[in-house]
A = this chain, B = another copy of it.
Amino acid sequence: MGQKLPGVEAFFAFCWEGLSREHKDDLISHSQPRNFKNGDIILPYKGECLGLMLVQSGQFRAFVLSSEGKEVTLYRLFDLDICLFSASCILNNIQFDIQIQAEKETKALLIPSSLYERLMNQSAAIANYTNQLMSSRFSDVMWTLEQVLFKSMDSRIAQFLLEYANIEGTNDLMLTHEAIARDLGTAREVVTRMLKYFTNEHLLELTRGRIRLLDIKRLREIAG
């Protein structure tokens, strides 16, 4: 409480100096504070084209959904990340659907899509910055694709557990097997089998709804 949240200029730090006074003022004066609860959907959002969502504090998850309802996580956004695809309507040639959802209570600033579109057209600095944001998300998705294509399930699960521990800042994870399976787009049984194998190898300890990581070093080796 009372903690100061980052302003627009913190998100555009890489190109702020290259912007005109007028464009800086536009960004500051038109950004709107938004609050999301855990589970709130950011994209698709009631048929509206929201705009850039600047994550001040909290967590978003971007994922794809198959027609059978299978989910696979593409990437996560944290404090000071910019959610570009909530403005995908103004990005020509984007021909895919992703879903974005809050995973924690999240405070964000919204830059409306109409304003951002105008700035992209007027300012090479903003257009190039958008490019950098897209490159980052593209890199995230390529990482996920290479995981899916080339990595075996033991390494993907080890990777997931280590990343989760890192995000939460603890080796004592409140995680169900269902949650891991959903994130990796596999069956719960596959996750349960692998976690039992890890337990037998003394890499972790399982209790109801909780996973305690015991051997971080070997989990890192498996994660590769």
Closest Cβ of chain B: how far from A224's Cβ, in Å?
9
Q: How many copies does the complex hold?
A: 2
Provide the A138-180 mask, 1 if CB < 8 A to any CB of B, else 0.
1101111110111000000000000000000000000000000
Question: Knowing A124-B122, A124-B123, A139-B94 touch, does A131 contact B132 (C-beta < 8 A)?
Answer: no
Q: Provide the bound-state CA to CA distance between A96 and B75, in Å.
A: 15
Q: Which residues does chain B contribute within 8 Å of A94, judged by CB atoms?
A: 135, 138-139
Of A2-10, A24-32, A33-41, A64-72, the one with at least 4 CB within 8 A of chain B:
A64-72
Q: Provide the bound-state CA to CA distance between A136 and B138, in Å.
A: 11
Q: Which residues does chain B contribute within 8 Å of A72, judged by CB atoms?
A: 149
Closest Cβ of chain B: how far from A35's Cβ, in Å?
29
Check if A20 is an interface residue, CB within 8 A of chain B: no
Residue of B nearest to A121 (CB): B124
Q: Which residues does chain B contribute within 8 Å of A134, judged by CB atoms?
A: 131, 134-135, 138
Of the candidates B70, B120, B139, B146, the one whose C-beta lies within 8 Å of that of A93 is: B139
Closest Cβ of chain B: how far from A15's Cβ, in Å?
11
Question: Knowing A145-B64, A148-B145, A149-B64 touch, does A91 contact B135 (C-beta < 8 A)?
Answer: yes
